[in-house]
Structure 1
Amino acid sequence: MPVKSIQRIAIVAGEASGDILGAGLISELKKKYPNAMFEGVGGPLMQEQGCASLYPMETLSVMGLVPILKKLPGLLKMRADLARYWVDTKPDLFIGIDAPEFNIGLEQKLKAQGIKTVHYVSPSVWAWRPKRIYKIKKAVDLMLCLFPFEQDIYQRHAIDNFCVGHTLADETPMQSDKDEARESLNITPMQQMVCLMPGSRASEMKLLGPDFIEMAFLLKKFYPEITFIAPMANEKREEQFRMQLAEAVEKHGSVPDIKLIDGQSRVAMAAADYIVMASGTATLEAMLIKRPTVVAYKVGALSYNIFKKLLTIDTFAIPNLLSKKDLLPELIQDDCTADNLFAEVRAWIGDHDNNRSQRWQEVEAEFTKWHQTLSKNANVYAADSIEHWWSENGIRQTEALTDG
C-alpha cells in the first residue's frame, strides 16, 4: 500500500539558531511536499517560509535553572495547549527543533497518540543526564543529529537517526579572508585584534562581560598596540556591555580599544586574530573560521552546583568534542577569571607568528578536517532523511485501507 504524502507538519523551534535550521528545512521539505502546510512556533525566518507561528518563539528562549523555574507555569500551559490542539487536529508529522526540555515532552504526548515525531538537533544526552535516552526513545521516532559522535547512543538504543551535518559548515568558506572581513568593518589591516564574544543572553553577559573587559585591560598593558572588536547580538546586550565597560573605565581611568558592532559576529571573528568567547554553538563557528580561540563559561552558582553532578563529560567546546582532543582551552566557572583568560590568549599569541607555530598548525589541520566532514548540505540532507524515513515508516493511506 502506498505511503500517505505529508500534508501537514507541526513544528516548534526554541531560539534563533532553531529558526535558521527550521527555515532551511521547511524550504527543502516544500520541494518534496509542495502542498504541505506548516504551523507551530517559529521565528521570522520560518514565518518567511510560510510557517504559521501560534506563539512568539521568544517565549521558549530561556536558559539557566532559575529563569526556567520562573517561566515554568507558562511554558507548561503552552506545551499542554499545543499538545491538546495537535492531538485533536492530527498533523501528519511533528518536528521539534532543539529546545529539548520543551519539545521532548511535547513529542512524547504526540507520539503516544499516533503522531510521528522527528527531533532535529540531538539533546546533549551524551554529556549529561544520560538516562534521558529512555524518555527520548518514548518520544522520538527519528533523531536528526548534527555531529557524528552523537549517533552512537541512538544506535545503541535502537532509535532511528541520521547525521545531517551542520548548516554553518555549508555556509562558511574553507578559508575565511581576514583582510576582506576587516575591510568590510573598516578596520586597519595590520592591527593585532581580539574578538570578544561574551554571549547573546543577558545571563551570559552578566557573568562573562566583566571578565572579558578586565582581560582586555590586561592585554592592552602587555601589548599596547592590540585592539578589540565585540559583536553585540542586539541592542539590549550592547547596552549591558556598555554599562560594564563604563564601570571598568571608571575603575582603571582609561579605555581599552574595543570596537562594538551590531551583530555580524561571523565577520568579526573572521576579522580577528584571536577569539575569546562564551561556550556554545559559536565555538563551532570559530572552528569553521579557523581562528585561535579561548572558550569560557559561567552560570549561576546554584545552577552550576546542580548541573555539575549530572555531567558525564569534562569538555564543552564543540571542536574538542568532535576531535576528542584539547584543541581549544576551556575556562569554566571558577576557572574563568580575567587573569586566566589573559594567560590563555598570551599562550596563543606566543613569541612569534601564531600561524607558524606547530600547535596552531595541528589545530588548524583538525579544524579543516572537521569542516570538510560536517559540510553535507545539511538542509537538503535533513529533508532527504525525513523523506527516506517517512517512505518506510509513514502512516498508510486510510483511503487505500478503506478501498481494500
Structure 2
Amino acid sequence: MNKQAPTFAIIVGEHSGDTLGAGLISELKKHYPNAKFVGIGGPKMLKQGFDSLFAMEELAVMGIVEVLGRLRRLLHIRKSIVNYFSEHKPDVFIGIDAPDFNLTVEQRLKTQGIKTVHYVSPSVWAWREKRIFKIDKATDMVLSLLPFEKEFYDRHNVACTFVGHPLADDIPMHSDKLAAREKLGLANDAKYLAIMPGSRGSELSILLPDFLATAKIIKRQHADLQLIAPVINDIREQQFKQIQQEHAPELDIKIITNDTQTVMASADCLLTASGTVTLEAALVKRPMVVAYKFNWLTAIIGRIMVKIKWFSLPNLLANKTLIPELLQEQVTPENLANHVEPLLYQDQSQLHDEFVAIHNVLKQNASEKAASAVMQLLK
C-alpha cells in the first residue's frame, strides 16, 4: 500500500449508492488527498474525480425476472471488474449496496488478499437469512446504515459497524415548506401532493398510471389540490410526460428535474414508490403513502421468501406502522386515494414527532464514521 496515495475500489449500482459513495470519497480525501478512486460510480462520484469503468445505470436493475433479462451483460461486467482489480489490486474494495453483484466481487477479491467492505447491509434480516454466511466470507467489514442491522450481525458474530445514514446528516431537522415553495415558484397557501413513482424507468411504467388515476380521484373532491412531481433527469421527465399524456392529459402537474428533496419539502403529502426515498421523506418530515409493484413472478417468489411485517424504511425503523404501505394488487387508485386524502387534510403532528425520533437515531456523521472504519482496515 502506498500510504500517501492508496487506491480505493468502489462499486455502486444506483443513485442512492452514488450519494453514499460521494460522501465517503469526500471524507477519505481529507486523509488521503492523493488517493485514487476507481470502479463503477454515478455523477456525484464522478464530480469527485472518480474513474468509472462502466456506467452505473447498467447495474440499476430490480426484481428477479428483470435481472434475468440483463443477466449476460451483468455477468460480463462482473467478470471484467474482477479481472481488472485482480490485475490492478486496490488497497481496499468497497461495494456499496447492489449485494447480488458486489458480494460475489468481494468474495473473489478477498481470496486474493484484498481487504473488502460492504457498505449498506443487504436485507438479510428480511429474507434469505443464510446470506449472512456468504457476507462473512466475502467481507472484512459491513457498514450498516440502520441500528437494527448491527444487532443482527452481532448475533451472528459478523464484523459490522453502524455508521448511521448520510441523509440524516445532510437533511436539516426542520425542512421549511414555505422556503421550498418559494424556490420552486409554488403558491404558499395551496395544498400540494407530490407524485413520486420512482427513479427507474420500469417503476414509472408500472406505478405512474395508478398514481395519476389516484390524483384524478382526489381532485374530484378537492379541485384546488395542486400536483408536483420530481424526476431525476431529462430522460425520466420525458417518460413521465409520455405516460401522463396517455393516461391523464387533463392533469396540471409541475415537473421538477433533479431537486427531489425540495419538492418533498414543498409538499403536504407524498405518493411515492418504495425505496430510500421513503427514508428521505421521513427525514424531511412529510406524510406519505408508499406503494410498489413487481413483475408477477418476482412478487410470488418474494411472498414465499420475505419474512417481515413492513417493507418501507420508516415503518421498519419505528417497528410499527407509521405510514400506509400498499403492495402489488393493493395498489389501486381507489385504495391509494383513500390513504392519501386524510394525510393531506388532517393534522399530522404526531407523525412529525415520530419522524424526528428516527432522524435523531440516524444522525451519526455517517460518511465520517464510514471513512474511519475503512481507514482502520487499511491500518
Same fold at TM > 0.5: yes
Task: Tell me, yes or no, if the aligned pair for 2:116 and 2:141 is still in contact at 8 Å.
Answer: yes
Partner of 2:270: 275
Q: Does 1:386 align with 2:360?
A: no
Shift of residue 85, structure 1, vs aligned partner: 2.5
Q: Does 1:11 align with 2:10?
A: yes
Question: Residues 7 and 233 (structure 1 numbering): CA distance in 2 closer, same or farther, change over 3 Å?
Answer: closer
- Which SS does the other structure have where 1:126 is aligned? coil
Partner of 2:254: 259
Partner of 2:303: 308
Alpha-carbon distance between aligned partners in 2 of 1:349 and 1:249, rounded to the nearest angstrom: 21
Partner of 2:231: 232
Q: What is the identity, as a one-letter code, of the residue corresponding to 1:16?
A: H
Alpha-carbon distance between aligned partners in 2 of 1:85 and 1:321, rounded to the nearest angstrom: 38
Task: Tell me, yes or no, if the aligned pair for 1:203 and 1:299 is still in contact at 8 Å.
Answer: no
Shift of residue 4, structure 1, vs aligned partner: 6.7
Identify the range of structure 1 (230-239 vs 362-371) with the bigger mean alpha-carbon deviation: 230-239
Shift of residue 339, structure 1, vs aligned partner: 0.2
Shift of residue 89, structure 1, vs aligned partner: 3.1
Shift of residue 224, structure 1, vs aligned partner: 1.5
Q: Does 1:340 align with 2:335?
A: yes
Q: Deviations over 1:280-309 (max 9, x none)?
A: 111011101111111111111111111221
Question: Residues 192 and 132 (structure 1 numbering): CA distance in 2 closer, same or farther, change over 3 Å?
Answer: same
Q: Please say which structure displays the higher CA radius of gyration.
A: 1
User: Within 5 Å, which residues of 2 pair with 1:206-221?
Assistant: 206-221=205-220
Shift of residue 174, structure 1, vs aligned partner: 0.8
Q: What is the identity, as a one-letter code, of the residue corresponding to 2:361?
A: T
Task: Tell me, yes or no, if the aligned pair for 1:21 and 1:167 is still in contact at 8 Å.
Answer: yes
Alpha-carbon distance between aligned partners in 2 of 1:99 and 1:152, rounded to the nearest angstrom: 21
CA RMSD of aligned residues (A): 1.8
Question: Residues 191 and 160 (structure 1 numbering): CA distance in 2 closer, same or farther, change over 3 Å?
Answer: same
Task: Tell me, yes or no, if the aligned pair for 2:103 and 2:138 is still in contact at 8 Å.
Answer: yes
Partner of 1:401: none
User: Within 5 Å, which residues of 2 pair with 1:5-404?
Assistant: 7-249=6-248, 255-350=250-345, 354-355=346-347, 360-391=348-379
Partner of 1:394: none
Q: Deviations over 1:290-349 (max 9, x none)?
A: 111111111111111112211011311111000101000001110011000100012324
Question: Residues 5 and 133 (structure 1 numbering): CA distance in 2 closer, same or farther, change over 3 Å?
Answer: farther
Aligned residues: 379
Task: Tell me, yes or no, if the aligned pair for 1:220 and 1:256 is still in contact at 8 Å.
Answer: no
Shift of residue 84, structure 1, vs aligned partner: 2.2
Alpha-carbon distance between aligned partners in 2 of 1:158 and 1:324, rounded to the nearest angstrom: 23
- Which SS does the other structure have where 2:304 is aligned? coil
Question: Residues 215 and 377 (structure 1 numbering): CA distance in 2 closer, same or farther, change over 3 Å?
Answer: same
Unmatched runs of 5 consecutive residues or more in structure 1: 392-404
Task: Tell me, yes or no, if the aligned pair for 1:6 and 1:93 is still in contact at 8 Å.
Answer: no
- Which SS does the other structure have where 1:363 is aligned? helix
Give the fraction of aligned pairs with identical amino acids, expressed as a percent: 48
